[in-house]
Structure 1
Amino acid sequence: MSAELIQNQEITGGFILRALAPGDAPGLAAAYTDNRAHLAPWEPVRPDSFFTVRGQAERIEGLLRSCADGTVAPWIIETPDGRITGAITLSGISRGPFCSASVGYWVAADRQNQGLASAALERVCDLARDRLGLHRVEASTLTDNTGSQRVLEKCGFTPIGLAPEYLHINGAWRDCRLFQRVLHDNVPAAL
């Protein structure tokens, strides 16, 4: 996937949605460390190494390899002064008759309820449709993650079902609500 597909864009109030870069390891390590307790109920159990610069550098390297392969599109959300305050990623990008991807996102505890997740998700859906040509984007939330469900519904996602024991989150297999947003009804590009 070429860099121009995931270029920097202002999303709201001076906050920037920009492509993940190799130099983001220190900022992401700090952001994840600062938000470890905030994110713990909604994420897999992370080893301590995940919260280090080296751990993030290795993670970023893998994400950027997948980005080059066209299966992942990772962005970060930055404050106007350049601090990482969240992330959003399209993963499992598939072409052909499926023409779909999954989206995951998070926003720092001190930036909740400011519209950042909604603005970033809306922009990513636009990019998924206009630049990547995807037909749909799907998302899952834990059944009790009402905040994320509100973000998805605000951005035009509709519930499509319940998946029992869908993800191993915070140390246990958890049920998830599934959502999708259909982006267009165009015929998929030829393989």
Structure 2
Amino acid sequence: MSNVGLLYVGGVLFINSLMLLGRIDGKSASVFNIFIGILQVFTPIYLIIKADGNMSEIMGAASIFLFGFTYLYVGLTNWFGLETSGLGWYCLWVSILALGFSCISFNTADIKFGIIWLFWSYLWFLFYLVLAKNMDIGRYVGKVTFVMAWITCTIPAFLGLAELWDNLSNTIALIVAGLAIIYFIAAYFSERQGSSIPKNVAS
């Protein structure tokens, strides 16, 4: 995925995190999801045609479709008020594929994107739990999405555009990933504790 495309994936994740946290209406968020979904569908079509049979380039373009169809699906589901189970099961399928892309990245010594693909796999799996299994973890997923919007998309894309991404050491990436995991664990138990407090006590 190009750094420009990744930057706007960060933008749509940021919007979706605020939607999950109740700061943005779902129908309002759907507009940006549809915009980015269209961008991330037509871009890989162009790249595949331009690749002229180069399987490495086609593989990279294919990964972009995962994002494009996700955001189109989210946008249209929210806009038309559709039932979410189909989207949830699609997210599970993408979560499994993301593990494959992570393995490819690690196999080609791209440690940083190997880590990022693992994070994306986890995020898609969380959407599966919320949308297909109806688990009451929306606020937790919102917090995870908010962090991932920055550390897996916006910041890497900005550093890439500034030609600084290659200078970022794998050690720093591992430290950031470790801190994020600690936050995700803390946020999960914080949300569980909050949901277990009786409403009359919490108020």
Same fold (TM over 0.5): no
Q: Which one has more relative contact order, counting CA pairs under 8 Å at least 6 apart?
A: 2
Higher helix share: 2
Higher strand share: 1
* TM-score after normalising by structure 1: 0.30
* TM-score after normalising by structure 2: 0.29
